[in-house]
Structure 1
Amino acid sequence: MTEQTPSGRARPEAIKAVPVRHPGRWATLAVLAVLTAMFVHLLVTNKAFKWSFILSSYAPGKRGVMFTDPVLQGLRGTILLTITAMLIGIVLGVVVAIMRLSPNRVLSTVAWIYTWFFRAAPRLVLAILFGNLNILWSRIGFGLPFDSQIGKLFGIHDLNAQFYSIRAVDLLAGFTAGMLALGLSEAAYMAEIIRAGIQSIDPGQAEAAVALGMSRGQVLRRIVLPQAMRVIVPPTGNEVIAMVKDTSLVAYVPVTGELFFQLTAVESRTFVVLPVLVAALLWYLILCSILMIGQFFVERHFGRGYGTTGQARQRLRDIQVEQTGRVSVEGEAT
């Protein structure tokens, strides 16, 4: 007998749902499990890894290669190089991005040339180039430009109008050369990221703020950039992680107080290749994993109000408008 509702209509029968089978998923899972087991077995049983050399003492009274004093000093140098290069990249990137968006054709052209050059030049080439810039000058300083030409013009052959100078071989070498190469290169990428974030904001907000009497700088600091951070933070986090890995390039400058340089020095002394490379890989994995965790929390902070909850509420409002033509104050259907 068909069951009826109080209104007299026939109640529909219950739906007999049949679960969808996914044999391909189980087969893929089985293959991945076998490959994972094979990889773990390789790590544990293959003596070529020499885990005691990497993690524990490889000689009486000595620590594993990962925790020796030179390697730990190189780790600190890598962290410091990452921080300084990213500071240069972010600060200069903001300036270049604003120049790119400027209505002044001269500023926008200079910013475009800057981003074109440093995005096209490989970072390894830039690092080696900056490490050898002392070939161009013997000293670098601040003072009047073209002082030697002015001296020749007036017959003063020993004119030196520099207020402060330093030997180029001391300035453009080692850590400073690597920091400048990575920082200036990073600024070009950060400029494009920041420019995309700024352009993602509705220009009507900036126009409304200007109409309220705010200056262009105030609009940028208080209206545009806080909202653009939601778009800027994820790729910036990726750039920080990439910078940690790119610091290994300055080992060719060379920067002696850097992680990869110190590990390659151990390799040269001990003639142990694979375990030293594994030690370097482990340190980079640890550093990048910590940064990924930090990036997750930063993204969640700047993404508040833009997640699935906000999207669901917006969809609810759209459906309500379609059905009733009006929206309630609380954003709930009436």
Structure 2
Amino acid sequence: MNKLILLILFSLSYCSYVIGQDSHIHFIEKPDSQKISIYIDQVLFTEFLYSDTLYKQVLYPIYTASGTEITRGYPARPKADEQTDHPHQMGLWFSFGNINGLDFWNNSNRIPYDKKEQYGIIRFAGIKNINEKGNKFTVEADWTNHDGYILLKEKTTYAFTGKPHERGIQRTTTLTAFKDSIFITENKEGLLGMRLDRNLEADISGIYQNKEGDTGDDVWGKRSAWVVLNGKIKDEKISIALIDHPENPNYPGWSHARGYGLFAINNLGGQCFDKQAEKVQILLKEGDSITFTHQIMIKDGGYLSNQEIEKVPAPQKPL
């Protein structure tokens, strides 16, 4: 009996060590619901949604390690007292406002039918690879016009990390010109964006800060390797950092962080943010590709220090 008790105690101690130091990432595919659920230590972190009713794929909702939701509920699941503007801003997404003149950023079911031809759609094409023993999966999508004509082929790998009070997301996206030449023209609306819970807006508790020390509204339009948002939800301190990658085009990107809850980084903004910047216009000929890697770090129970953000591990290689 004593040996059995010791064995049970040892097993519990070992499980606690594994969970505390090397969190277990688990994916559950739900094709009937058109989503992949991402669990860390058996707790839901986020879901990858690829519903036919969406105009792009998103991670939504997103939770801290403590279980607090940091994303706005609208338009999928509205919460009390939150704003209902910008229906295209849902969860965490990647899109842009000017690809061959098409707006992929602002498209939603609120666009009148006679205006649809001005907008692009990011159509889910399939799950390419899920690393069941690791922390990554790769998906594919087609960037099309309203009629389904393909401009760009997308390949995106998501990698997730977790430990007590911290969660991490890395998104690496490669866009390849499909048939014709593709012009990517500087635009304010881009590139990697999040829409956050009402409590993290500037008039409630949220304060932006970039690497250079600018804060609040002064962060918008500035180039920086990273921007962090510090705020509170029900007295719980929460930090969210968007981190650019040195190999991205136009590194460091411009911050498109707004007080109303939009938190975005845009490597293709150019003179839309700063008239003194070099103009951004990228030509991709058939078969040419462009790749972007960004990292998101989420902390609960305290705020991220500059040192913690600087020490975020280097991006993992895509599958």
Return the structure number with greater strand share: 2
Interval of TM-score (by shorter of Structure 1 and Structure 2): under 0.3
Return the structure number with greater relative CO, CA threshold 8 A, min gap 6. 1
TM-score by length of structure 1 reads 0.23
TM-score by length of structure 2 reads 0.23
Structure number with larger C-alpha Rg: 1
